[in-house]
Amino acid sequence: MSTDTQPFPPEVSEEERNYIRRSGRYVVVGFWTQIPQRCFVCNKEATVSEKIESEELNHIEVHFCDEHKKKRKRQFLIIVAYASACLACLIAAGFLNKTAFGSLAFVAILLVPILSLPYSIKAKFKERSIWITGAGKAFLDSLPEYKA
């Protein structure tokens, strides 16, 4: 990363860079904050870490307990299976020239991102903080409130 794209000026204090708060359903952290080693869903002791889905902010890791890691994996596989099934129907509809069935499969595919929304952890940079979605209520409730 070049110095031109630094997300904050260097005068920002160490303390300001290193904090973790909540704001509604968001976890708000300083740019260099390490997220505590607790499950991002249930706030229990975490055993596995996962990088967040963001190219610019992929130095941030969230953590999960065994149970929620397994659950996330299962949900991910279900969504993949669902998407594959939709795609197969779409292709079949194309071959058989069944337009109505094809349209239905197409609409079903459009639901994939919506279905996967609760399981995706996304981050964006805003107001000198990183705002992360996808945390569970127990984890959010353990954090102090963010005040802008």
Write out the residues near Zn ion by the rule CB under 5 A: 39, 41-42, 65, 68
Q: In the bound complex, what is the minimum distance in angstroms from residue 67's beta carbon to Zn ion?
A: 5
CB of 40 to Zn ion, least distance (A): 8
Measured at CB, which residue is nearest to Zn ion? 39
In the bound state with Zn ion, the residue whose beta carbon lies nearer, of 93 and 121, is 121
Write phi, then psi, for 29 (nearest 5 degrees): -130, 155
Distance separating alpha carbons of residues 22 and 120, to the nearest angstrom = 18
Closer of 72 and 93 to Zn ion (Cβ): 72
The two tokens of residue 115 are 């279905």
**CB burial of residue 90 (10 Å; 0-12, 13-18, 19+):** middle
Q: Which residues pair with 48 in a beta bridge?
A: 64
Task: Compute the distance between CA of residue 20 and CA of residue 34 in angstroms, rounded to an integer.
Answer: 9
Cβ at position 66, least distance to Zn ion in Å: 8
Please say which residue, 28 or 41, places its beta carbon nearer to Zn ion.
41
Q: Least distance to Zn ion from the beta carbon of 91, Å?
A: 38
Q: Which tokens is 43 given? A: 């706030």
Query: Please, which residue, 42 or 115, has the CB nearer to Zn ion?
Result: 42
